[in-house]
Structure 1
């Protein structure tokens, strides 16, 4: 997505975001599609124990970051993002910047998702919330990177994290994008009031999420970072709609893989119609965008359903442990697969049951548990807390061999499953 530049022409005078949702002509088909998205996502989440889903979803958060930043033209790898989260950066400035952007995305999404779990009453469409989201993202970047970024590199225009823009912007330096900055306060209030998730119920909330994504990208409320904020916002909106609460599929991946279509649908829905001397948004084009957006959600749910192949996970855990048991370096006991399978399928297991599951003495069981904890194959919040499945990067190609392609995960992490 091209970055904005100060516009040389005045912005269009669009006095309202109406229509907020497509009308009755289009809503029937969209409601059917929204129900399909909700059912498919619930079915996927229902196949994974809660603690296991959280562990897997936490790692897939890196996928959200990878693809959201790829849309903006910044490419890295999953291992490099993990390095960045540990404050370990590459020497190459361009690669380091991509690492920093992805790490900022992960940290921001993680903290805001956690906050939603304790305070779901927040209106995530309010200027206050969106400004906090924008500011949080840039707080994770060094000061020298808090300037609007163009195809030629950083400009001298400060981003002003969390502040609504006070300039008109353009993606090409000629055509104005979004409303004039003077109109933003009123339009942002209109956005907050009419897209508040709690105004909608059932399938309409998903349709509102799709429509709000377009309206927010058109509003372009900040000097830079609007695309990333809009995708973070939509992920949060999904959770408030009861969808993808464990983060088992990635909206950003779907939008990235259809980037050209995504840009075209956004641009088409931007096009206003002339009514009574004023510009209004097209109801049909908004419906087309919502249809594209929901189909992208459904496509990604089905993709992850096929890719994770959860019906085969126990066999793949056995495969990994069998491979490790034959390794000359740090071999695992073959019995360890029983404990890993139990942790994955049940979500968590008490330490006292390890011996029973392994069919051995507690002393020997503790040794296996200690080894698995040291490698991160099991995790626990304390020495007395239950054991939960761990998903370190090196094990994912074995547990989920089709999850990442080499360009994303890095060639060194790929394995031969034959």
Structure 2
């Protein structure tokens, strides 16, 4: 079994010497092949679960099918994203008190699976506003659990996987999940399965995927790490805010990450622009394109991030600028003169390109952050940056939402300007 794990690791990581390590201890180096596969399976399961419970597609379908007011649909993405990010400053102070941190990922995954299962049960028994409120409350607890996983996963990844293999691992999991998502959603499109019963089945499947992720991550061989500042988690959390003032490189990274938020926020707007040109079942196309984007770009971005995560950030910022500007031009100038079929194809293409770009943004910033620090400082970086981004995400989401009520083109221009600013600031980032 040991030999098989090592052989498979060498093939997946293109590693001639499976014990060649950088950025981790000698003891952890011996466990890299097995840990690589366990983390890969956990990330794959998590990404699959995220696809089956997507707040951009699946949950909106669920609420629409049950007759819930549109108000609740508008809350889904901000709650899911901000709810998992804002509490991380405090959660990071708690997690750092423990020498081993994989158990926090296990707990977080089990809680996410439980919330998904409760959403499925609620969909069977409730409808309308009652279901809307129930899903909203469950999503809050779901997001908090997701935040716990975020802190633990990056810390364990940094302790168990060499620097030059972290981006590849994340890219592989994204590509593998893309294949499965593509197969499932493609079959659904062919069978025209978009019923409420099927959506409930997707949530149950997501719950099982999080259970598998918890089991796989729990098997990781993690050695004890540093626990400095373990006396008072809340006090440590407040002190960590000083990183934004004293650490210039970290300050630059957080600024870039904040300015690139448009790559993740724009997806619902593109779907909204395409809605008049498609029917209910056509929404499956967007899910398929997300899976296809993960499949074709995940490993590419992962390999590129291992060579230079800074370059990935710069490249994806440039791509974001181009896509946002073209989308604004198309919506304002070209769309009125074209047929619905052509317009739909263009928006699907834009969504696909944005999905590829956002995958690069995520892998680039994740790899950069993990490589930028070691030990507890990595945990501090993750918790502080995620908390700040969570707050800014709410603000950015409210601003873009209000602008969308006035003019959709203005939102796209805002995202383009923000991405341009991100590119300028990213030039100051150092290679890690």
Instruction: State which structure, 1 or 2, has the greater radius of gyration over its C-alpha atoms.
Output: 1
Which structure: greater strand fraction? 1
TM-score normalized by the length of structure 1: 0.30
TM-score normalized by the length of structure 2: 0.29
Which structure: greater helix fraction? 2
